[in-house]
Structure 1
Amino acid sequence: MKRDVSAELEVAITAPTELEFQIAVAPHPNAKVSESLSFVLDGKPVQPLEISGTHGNRIHKLQVPGGVLKVDYAATVTGRTEPAPVTEYDQSMYLRPSRYAESDKFFGFAATEFGKYVDSETLLERVSSWVGTRLSYVPGSSDPIDGAADTLLAGTGVCRDYAHLVVALLRAVFVPARLVSVYAPGLYPMDFHAVAEAFVDGQWRVVDATLLAPRQSLVRIATGRDAADTAFLDNHKGGINLNWMTVTAVVDGDLPSDHIDELVSIC
């Protein structure tokens, strides 16, 4: 499989700030990755500091005094990578509640809804189906600081809201789960996409309750507890405005077919 992905952003900096971008694909062992990344501030190229984070997350960090920053990223991923490794630390960390996936608020509820399902594979399918039918996908319906409990009460959200609720419910029934930001060929409207990953049958399996893109063609960007770890742009101090952003993700040939009851890993 050959996948071409790209992201272009224009950010207006209104006061000196520190910017962190997570838009570059994570390392893909055994796959061939070619990429380009440029940052141009008021017409002049600037060089970011690349920080390697957990799970291969790549943070590109800049100190910017002001002006207009244009960011251009493109990558071609040919072939498939190895399934994400699983550590004992992962299995502990991703059972714990986090900022946007407050699984401790869901223990009683999740036990009532899903307690009769004992194996992780069935839990994965049931939780994904439940969230997909319970929520309505409505762009702009949620706030960036909404967590899984807010999403459940509202009944609407976007991809990160779906993923947070899936993660919180799975952790509440003792299945380790985490959030992954991805490029998603076939997604409409096209954007950065968020999905969940759960530890099932010895591997990390991807869950996308939105059903908006086939899981087999996803390209991993960043992995973490929730959106606090995987945001495509963070700023510390100062002030910024995102003027515009364009994301693309396509495959060479037809998109793969996907079925909710299949176990799929991001590769």
Structure 2
Amino acid sequence: MHRTVSAALEFRLGGHSDVILSIAVAAGTPILSETLSIRSDRGQIVPQELVDRHGTRLHRIAAHAGGYSIHYHAVVAGQRPVEPASPLDHLLYLRPSRYAESDKLFRFARERFGGLHGQVLLDAVASFVHDGLSYVPGSSGPSDSAATTLSSREGVCRDYAHLVIAFLRACDMPARMVSAYAPGLTPMDFHAVAEAWVDGHWRIVDATRLAPRQSLVRIATGRDASDIAFVTNHHANLTLDRVEVGAVAQTLPMDDQRTPVLLS
């Protein structure tokens, strides 16, 4: 399946800053074409590319005060191989994290999903989060977590994913977060989903059900939103003025939610 993805960012910096972008498709993805342009008011910038153990590609720039314009475009063909989980993954993705506090939600998760295992547990958690939350753009902030989402019962894709991850970890299933380009998503944006280790594979869980899982294109993988943010910076204030995301597939597959899906 061919998919065309793109992102455009504009931001201003108040001083010298270390800026890290996470908008490129993951390493190992079969790419037919790809461009990344980073411009400041002083001209074109060539970033440093860093790749983590999950294939997340980070583009780092040593930036000065002023305005910046970022444009990314890629055409993807086929599927990216998904790496197996290591013993370290099994430990890391069972632990509570900043936005997926499985320790805080342990009692609730055990009372609701206790006794369930494997794909049955995964399906039950996904259905509970989908049915129990309302998707409300702008309803959550950058500091909201799984615990606050459970309390408010509303959020956006990152909130849905955090709650799924926290419940699964509380029930002893390794779970992590993935950012992705999502053809078919409305409103279009960077998308966040959960990924759980079930029967020897990482299975995608998108409790929002806003885009077919088969069409997703992986960008970044981590514990929660703190690991997969599309832009982070240090040492100076960053004001984000524009974010525009595009993702188009040749055809959008039907997603019946009952079939396990591996993310490319």
User: 2:54 aligned with 1:55, yes or no?
Assistant: yes
2:54 partner SS: helix
1:205 partnered with 2:203: yes
Please state how far the C-alpha of 1:28 moved relative to its aligned partner: 2.7
Give the Å deviation of 1:27: 1.6
CA deviation string 1:159-184 (max 9, x = no partner)? 00000000000000000000000000
SS in 1 for 2:10: strand
- How far does residue 136 in structure 1 lie from its aligned partner after superposition? 0.5
2:217 maps to 1:257: no
Secondary structure at 1:103 match in 2: coil
Match of 2:133 in 1: 135
Structure 2: segments with no counterpart, 5+ residues? none
2:67 corresponding residue in structure 1: 68
Structure 1 gap ranges (5+): none
Q: How far 1:32 sits from its partner (Å)? A: 3.7
Deviates more, 1:15-24 or 1:201-210: 15-24
Q: Provide runs of 4+ in structure 1 moved above 6 Å.
A: none
What secondary structure, in the 3-state scheme, does the structure 1 residue paired with 2:75 have? Answer: strand
Deviations 1:188-242 (A, max 9, x none): 0000000000001110000000000000010000000000000000011211111
- In structure 2, the partner of 1:166 is 164
Equivalent residue runs for 1:107-118 within 5 Å: 107-117=106-116
- After alignment, is 169-178 or 100-109 more displaced? 100-109
Contact 1:3 1:78 in 2 (8 A): yes
**In the TM superposition, what whole-angstrom CA distance separates every residue of 1:4-56 from its partner, at most 9, and x where no partner exists?**
00001111112221111000000235x34421101000161011111112301
Aligned-residue CA RMSD in angstroms? 1.1
1:94 deviates by: 0.4
Aligned equivalent of 1:227, options 222, 225, 239: 225
**Contact preservation (8 Å) 2:31, 2:74:** no
Supply the distance in 1 between the matched residues of 2:99 and 2:79 (Cα, whole angstroms): 30
- Give the superposition deviation at 1:83: 2.6
Residue type of the alignment partner of 1:213: A
Give the residue type in structure 1 aligned to 2:161.
Answer: A
The answer as to whether partners of 1:19 and 1:236 remain within 8 angstroms in 2 is yes
* Length-normalised TM-score, structure 1: 0.96
Distance 1:251 1:57, change over 3 A: same
Look up the match of 1:16: 16
Q: TM-score by structure 2 length? A: 0.97
Aligned residue identity for 2:10 = E
**Matched residue type, 2:260:** L
Q: Superposition pairs for residues 120-159 of structure 1, below 5 Å? A: 120-159=118-157
In structure 2, the partner of 1:236 is 234
CA distance in 2, matches of 1:56, 1:202: 19
- Find the residue that maps to 1:264 and give its secondary structure: coil
- 1:98 and 1:226 in contact (8 A); partners too: yes
Report SS of the residue matched to 2:103: helix
Q: 1:80 aligned to 2:79?
A: yes
Q: Is the 8 Å Cα contact of residues 27 and 51 (structure 2) preserved in structure 1?
A: no
The amino acid across from 2:187 in the alignment is P
